[in-house]
Structure formats: structure tokens, C-alpha cells
Structure 1
């Protein structure tokens, strides 16, 4: 089994997210203050629902916008997914819960307190993960995440706020052997860096995605876009 894209579910979740934001009891300026990240809620909602995600996890930073949470909550409702949000402390949990209630998000996600890296190690089989790049250990969170055998979508929000654009490469921060099928950087909100992780079942299958050789030596093409110049670079990686 692997993740399968459903445009119908993606569209429904997108529309539901737009409706939720429009019928909120908040005035436009208050909505803006709560969401801030233009387009993030709708994009993440349609992606999580479109890939029929069943275990959605997000890492929330204290005082941050809740746009991602709104979109993911709608997606979870449409796919019947478990939705977990990791917060650093009790104060953040209270503020976060209040903000969701004020925006009319129901049901809210399951909230877990603790260090993101520690908590993520205890969660197995996630297939949609959103990490805030403002977290000091966001790269470690990505590395230790236990994704589903059918694949996963990993998203880094606030990507423009990373201390150094040039060092970040998906194949460098993820666990060795993780198969990144494709990745893309989108100028949505404060930047979204997204990677699609291939399924792990059937061993050496999927040569068309990873570029495996006829002798069974796995290889893959990696596309990297320089965030400053916009130049696109293509690399071929072979594992020995």
C-alpha cells in the first residue's frame, strides 16, 4: 500500500477550510491576527486530505499563528485521521486551545505537551507531519519521525526563517535510507518546504521513482532550488 492522491477529497477539504475561516465569529482583522499565514491553512488542508492522511502530527511554537492547525483539523475531519499537535508547555497549550475555540475549530486536535523531539519519537506511523522551522531542533524532529510504511508528506513551515537556507537538504536531515520521491519549496505564508516520502514495502520496488539501476544498486535524482538565486540544481545520488 502507498499514499494515493484524491483530488475530490482535496477540493472538499479546501472548500471546507475556506468556509470555516469565513463563518468565524471574528472580524477580518482578528482573523488575520490569528491566521497571519496567508494560504497556509487551505494548502495544508487540501494536501493532508488529498493524500488521505490517517495520522497527522504538527509541532506548534508558542505565540505562533494557528493557520496550519485550522487546515489540518479540517483535513482530519474529512479523512477520519488522528490529529496530534505537540506544544512545549502548559501556557502554550491553554493559549492554543483558546485560539482554536475562538476560530470555531471542532473537534480540536489531540494536544501533547513536551519537547517536540522527545514526543515525536513516541508517535509511530505518521503520514503527514508539519514542523515549524522556528523550533530550535526542527531538523532533529524530522530525523527521528517514524513515518508510515505507506509513505508520508513532510512539511516545514516558516522556512524563510531558517537561520541558513543553503544548508537545508531533505536527504541530509532525514534518517539514512529514507526515500525522498520529490520535494518542492512554495512561497506560501513564510515559506513551505515540502517533501514526499515513498512507501517502504516491496523492498526494491519503485525503481521508476528512485532511479534504481539494473543491478539493484538504488539511486535517485535530487532537485535543489537555491532560495536566494532561484537556480535549480539536479543531482544524482547512488547508494553503495
Structure 2
């Protein structure tokens, strides 16, 4: 089986994230990522977060997990970050929204990644020193996965996904860089030996996500297959 796109689920997650994150100035990234995770019907959504990081993306991913009946897991480096993260998510959820449910794992990537098998949507922060290590250690789903590196500024936009993906188990199908927020570097990964992307391109069919940055008014469109 492969990841299958659901535009209806993507739309619902997008709208719900807009409602939850309307008070945040950086919510545009959250809305887009939430729609992507829900649209791909991700069952295990994993992200990294550290003290001082923005919370809207986490809210959006938790909402997406609610729409896919999946798990949203956040990896934090220490107890200080865990406490800050839990407090921020609770505040964003208004003190107890059942749609906001997140598992928090504390520790280094080597300690926590082995507990997470079958990841099909992974979000890492390009400003964290261990983001490449998280990608290398990730146990991705046999259905394939979508990998997102946020805060991918110009100096990190050249992230070489193939350098951090185990070529023996997975292969990079395609990549895209979106000038949303501080930059999003995205890769669609498939299990090695699976059907290639050529069949999708031959069919001429694809899915499009339209995102309008509410701060700048700029419109961004990404094509998925």
C-alpha cells in the first residue's frame, strides 16, 4: 500500500487549524503542514521541538492526527522543554480540547526514535543541530512518508535529502522547497522496490494544495502525486 491523498481530510484539517491558530502570526506554516499531514492520511505523525520554539505547527499536526485517527508524537530534548511544550499546547487548546492530543517523548534522537516505527509524516526543525540525525534514525512507514524541514532558510535550502535517507530502505521520490514562513523543504519518500513515480507522471494526475500567506497575501501552490 502507498500513501493515498484525501483532499477532503486536508481541507478539514486546514480549516480547523486556521480556527485554532488565528491568534498566531506564524500560523501560515501550521495550516499548510496540517493539511498535508491530514491529506496524506498520516497515522504516525512525529515532530521535534525545543524550548522557545513556535507552537502553531504542533497544534496543526495534532489536529491532523485527530482527523486521521492517528498518533501525534513530539520529541523534546529535556524536561524543561517538555514542561514548556505541554503548557504551550494546553494554552493553545484552551485548556482541554479533545482534538488536541499529543504524546511527548523526552531524550536524544538515539534514545527515542527506536520507539517510533512506521512514521509516515515527519517534521524537523532546520535550526536544531540534530535534525539530520533525526532523519537518519527515523523508521519510516512501508507505505512511504512525507518529510518536512521547517525553518529551511536560504543557507539550508540545499538540504540533500538523499544524504540523510538510508538508500537501502528508502528512496526520495521528489522534493520541493516552499517560501512559506522561514522556508519549508519537503521530500516524498518511498520504500525501495516500490512503484516509481513515473506511473503517476504518465497518468498526468496530481493533487494541488493552495496556500495563501495571510501576512503577505502571497499565494503558494504545491503539486503532490
Same fold, judged at TM 0.5 (above): yes
Whether contact under 8 Å (1:59, 1:116) holds in the other structure is no
**Deviations, residues 100-153 of structure 1 (Å, cap 9, x unaligned):** 111115433000100134312331101000001111121111111110000000
Which of these residues, 107, 131, 139, is aligned with residue 146 of structure 1?
A: 139
Instruction: Establish whether residue 94 from structure 1 lines up as the match of residue 83 from structure 2.
Output: yes
Instruction: Show the counterpart of 2:209.
Output: none
**Deviations, residues 158-202 of structure 1 (Å, cap 9, x unaligned):** 1118xx4376211112112321111101111111101011244xx
Instruction: Show the counterpart of 1:190.
Output: 182
Whether contact under 8 Å (1:2, 1:199) holds in the other structure is no
Looking at structure 1, the residues matched to 157 and 61 of structure 2 have their Cα atoms a distance apart, in angstroms, of: 29
Greater CA drift, 97-106 or 45-54: 97-106
Whether contact under 8 Å (2:46, 2:119) holds in the other structure is yes
Instruction: Show the counterpart of 1:46.
Output: 35
Q: What is the alpha-carbon root mean square deviation over aligned residues?
A: 2.1
Q: How many residues align?
A: 196
Looking at structure 2, the residues matched to 204 and 56 of structure 1 have their Cα atoms a distance apart, in angstroms, of: 22
Whether contact under 8 Å (1:37, 1:190) holds in the other structure is no
Change in Cα spacing, 1:210 to 1:168, as seen in structure 2 (3 Å) is: farther
Instruction: Establish whether residue 172 from structure 1 lines up as the match of residue 172 from structure 2.
Output: no
Change in Cα spacing, 1:146 to 1:187, as seen in structure 2 (3 Å) is: same
Looking at structure 2, the residues matched to 44 and 140 of structure 1 have their Cα atoms a distance apart, in angstroms, of: 21
Instruction: Show the counterpart of 1:71.
Output: 60
Instruction: Establish whether residue 109 from structure 1 lines up as the match of residue 88 from structure 2.
Output: no
When normalised by structure 2's length, the TM-score is 0.80
Change in Cα spacing, 1:19 to 1:210, as seen in structure 2 (3 Å) is: closer
**Deviations, residues 10-57 of structure 1 (Å, cap 9, x unaligned):** 0011011112224xxxxxxxx33xxx5341110011000000000000
Looking at structure 1, the residues matched to 77 and 118 of structure 2 have their Cα atoms a distance apart, in angstroms, of: 22
Instruction: Establish whether residue 206 from structure 1 lines up as the match of residue 199 from structure 2.
Output: no
Task: For structure 1, list consecutive stretches of 5 or more residues without a partner in the other structure.
Answer: 23-30, 212-240
Change in Cα spacing, 1:192 to 1:166, as seen in structure 2 (3 Å) is: closer
**Deviations, residues 62-86 of structure 1 (Å, cap 9, x unaligned):** 1110121011011001000111101
Task: For structure 2, list consecutive stretches of 5 or more residues without a partner in the other structure.
Answer: 202-225
Whether contact under 8 Å (1:56, 1:129) holds in the other structure is yes
Moved over 4 A (4+): none
Whether contact under 8 Å (2:62, 2:72) holds in the other structure is yes
SS of the residue corresponding to residue 159 of structure 1 reads: coil
SS of the residue corresponding to residue 112 of structure 2 reads: helix
